[in-house]
Amino acid sequence: MNYRTRVLWATTALVSGLMIAGAASAQSTGSQTVEATEVDDVVVTGIRGPRSLAGAIVAETAPKSVATVTAEYLSTQNAGQSALASINLLPGVNFTNTDAFGSSGGDITLRGLDAARISLTVDGIPLNDTGNYAIYSNQQQDPETLARVSVNLGTTDVDSPTASATGGTINFVTRRPSEEAGLIFQPSVGSYDFKRIFAMVDTGAFGPWGTTAWFSASRTEYDHFNAIYGVEKSQYNGRIYQALGANGDFLSLSGHYNENRNFFGTQSVSLAAFEGGAGYNRPSVGTGAKTGINPSNTGNIRGQSRFTLAEGLRLTIDPTFQYVLANGGGNGTFRETDLQLIGNSNAAGVDLNGDGDFGDTVTLYRPNTTNTHRYTVTSSLIWDINDDHRIRGAYTYENGRHRQTGQLGFLKPDGQTEDVFGGLTGRPVELPDGTNLRRRDRLSYAILNQFSLEYRGSFFDDAVDLVVGARAPYFKRELNNYCYQRDTFNAFCTTQVPTVVNADGTVQFPASGPLNSSANNRYGVPRSFEKKYDDILPNAGLTWRFAPNQSLYTSYAEGLSAPRTDDLYDRFIPNPQPETTKSVDLGYRYQSGTVIASAAVWQTDFSNRIVRTYDEVEDIFQSRNVGEVTLKGVDGQVGWSPIDTLTLYASASYVDSEVQNDLPNGIVNGVPQFIATAGKTLVETPEWQFGFRADYRIGDFALGLQGKHVGERFANDINTSIFPEYQVWDLDARYDLPQIRNGDTWIQLNVTNLFDERYLANINTSDTGLGTGNPGSPRAFMFTLHAAF
């Protein structure tokens, strides 16, 4: 059997029911330990069947809705592509890429959940932003370093270290080092001057204890298809693994560092403008394009360990540290006599351009910078009472220091920034009152203490598996805002004395300054405060293998998402409450030697759902509590290998979402105002999605064709703006060179958007406006040489 279609058969049909859950759904070492005999193995119990089909579908057995892709499938996609793009065919998942190559960013939804409501982890550590829970797809680990990517559709693991997930998780699992030494050298070239080099070395077993390790590095550069400049990205990864005996115990240390310089500046257009042909032209060079940079330096160090303390008693400990320094770029124009610059001093102005007077208007670099230091420890104590019953206790601690600043910086004569992080690491704009010019100034601490307890049991000769558990998160935010806050995103940092203090505690500044005194420019005062949130979140799952190759499962889980930092600082939401969810799944699975299939019906009920939309009338972004929202649907996937050389995969999902309440919209003359959203569909949530892939091999040649259909999506809360459906097809073709390292060397062609579909990918939604979208990437080519030695 060839590499791409090989089938891994179970070695026995008689193993304990406790060992059958698919490790593909696991996150931490503790979850991997309780869900499989070995973290990299999935045992299909009671049948002789495949672990996966072409890596596009895995034989899952966990009592919840799970879907997984493996390294075999990841290798067929664009080299260096975000692994989030590679799960786009899975049921319920919709990933919209900013470009064809994955290093510019993108957006993801899962069963109607936006990215901030999905927990993203690598080896069990949370990767969502500690403040707003955002997922940054372009900062993730190179796909060549991953063993698999799995998605929990609707539930979290009992030890999930998250304060944000309300119904879904995406889990990256890093590959283990090989026992044999080896080197991979992989250059790629493609459209839009795409250039990438990836290299990985496996040390093989070395030293007196048989230690193994791998290290990798990559460099990526390319131009945007519809914006000035493009992307420059460097990444480094590594893992050291030490087995402790032959019982599965181990020590592991992994590292990741990513440095990305993305001139985002991509065109966001209205639907009318897009239908008129806008969105695909590269603009001319201008100051805005040069300051529209999204720089990021991100890294982490991840420890994993498992120890057998006594027979049937194991301990896992996963400590991690993460670092983030990133901003969103941008520029601002200032008169040298602006009151914000003068503050409470007696100065006549600030000479920003150094020409000796105060009569100029000067453009400055105006970034929003975030600097995060994040410490996490996840641990589990696992007791195997006997072969059929297991108890697990878990504890997670996390402390994230989240510094949000916006020190302005200067531009060079050619319009480029002096420093991509502005005045934080470069030359600041010093003001006569002793401060630096900045657009925001916050210090937040996100602290999580979480306790979890879980029971797993197998009954009726391994025909029934039961999982019952609960997690109890205790989440605290310590918040310090050193500026006046207007809305979710806009602050005003000054030492000026406000001219008006309103009855609601907000303040206003002189109309003659850069701000006017209208109601839209009321500001909350600087303050320090704490918020605490806690809950007990039960979950349960049941699997019944009622016939050979067939099983039914059901799951129930409750979730909690603590308010995001921006919402807590926002004066429009005086006391935001945590979102909570209750999710139910009922599913069916069929798994044989040539077929893997699953289908599920599900429902998720939201309480206190916060929506974030752009108010075009007031020209501000606002967050509002829309109360209850109901999501329900059906999704499924099937993989079929009718002959050894052909594998077919298909997925489908239907989502019905309904907002239960009207949207609060302020008070006019003492009367509360509302936007008519009750009964409406959630924005950016397509009802129908379909995915398809075919893998075919003849001799040393392999061909893959895949497509994704996304239905219509609403771009505003009142459902009057509809973005059209679209479908995108991709092609991959590989030729193996078997004379070099047994076929592990190959050349590959990838074509994304094969038929050059024009569509709007990411949506920037509004409450009553029309919204805008980012055009999807046109057809693009990539050639890759994968040389293994």
- What pLDDT digit, counting tens, does each position of 616-625 carry? 555 555 666 7
- Which one, of 550, 560, 676, 573, lies nearest residue 624 by Cα? 573
* Per-residue model confidence (pLDDT) at position 618: 53
* Per-residue model confidence (pLDDT) at position 291: 67
Residue burial 50-64, b: 16+ Cβ < 10 Å; e: rest: bbbbbbbbbbbbbbb
CA–CA dist 16, 33 (Å, integer): 14
* Per-residue model confidence (pLDDT) at position 769: 85
* Per-residue model confidence (pLDDT) at position 506: 83
Q: Structure pTM?
A: 0.90
* Per-residue model confidence (pLDDT) at position 614: 55
Beta-bridge partners for 70: 148
* Per-residue model confidence (pLDDT) at position 21: 35
CA–CA dist 587, 544 (Å, integer): 11
Structure tokens at 58: 């895995």
Structure tokens at 505: 């505690």
Ranges of each domain in the chain:
17-330+366-483+526-788
- Which one, of 412, 323, 419, lies nearest residue 367 by Cα? 419
CA–CA dist 32, 34 (Å, integer): 6
Structure tokens at 513: 């300054």
Contact 747, 785 (CB under 8 A): yes
* Per-residue model confidence (pLDDT) at position 491: 84
CA–CA dist 428, 436 (Å, integer): 6
* Per-residue model confidence (pLDDT) at position 24: 40
CA–CA dist 39, 741 (Å, integer): 27
Structure tokens at 1: 């059997």
Pairing mode, strands 722-723 and 389-407:
unpaired
CA–CA dist 354, 334 (Å, integer): 14
- Which one, of 175, 197, 199, 189, lies nearest residue 123 by Cα? 175
Rg, C-alpha atoms of the chain: 27
Q: Mark the ranges of the chain whose per-residue pLDDT is less than 70.
A: 1-27, 36-50, 165, 167, 264-266, 283-289, 291, 488, 511-520, 571-574, 611-624, 666, 741-743
* Per-residue model confidence (pLDDT) at position 613: 61
Query: How many other CB atoms are there within 10 angstroms of residue 490's CB atom?
Result: 17
Which CATH code for domain 17-330+366-483+526-788? 2.40.170.20
Query: How many other CB atoms are there within 10 angstroms of residue 256's CB atom?
Result: 24
Percent of the chain with pLDDT over 90: 62
Instruction: Tell me the DSSP string of 131-199.
Output: TT----GGGSPPGGGEEEEEEEES---TT---SS-SSEEEEEEEPPPPSS-EEEEEEEEETTTEEEEEE
* Per-residue model confidence (pLDDT) at position 466: 96
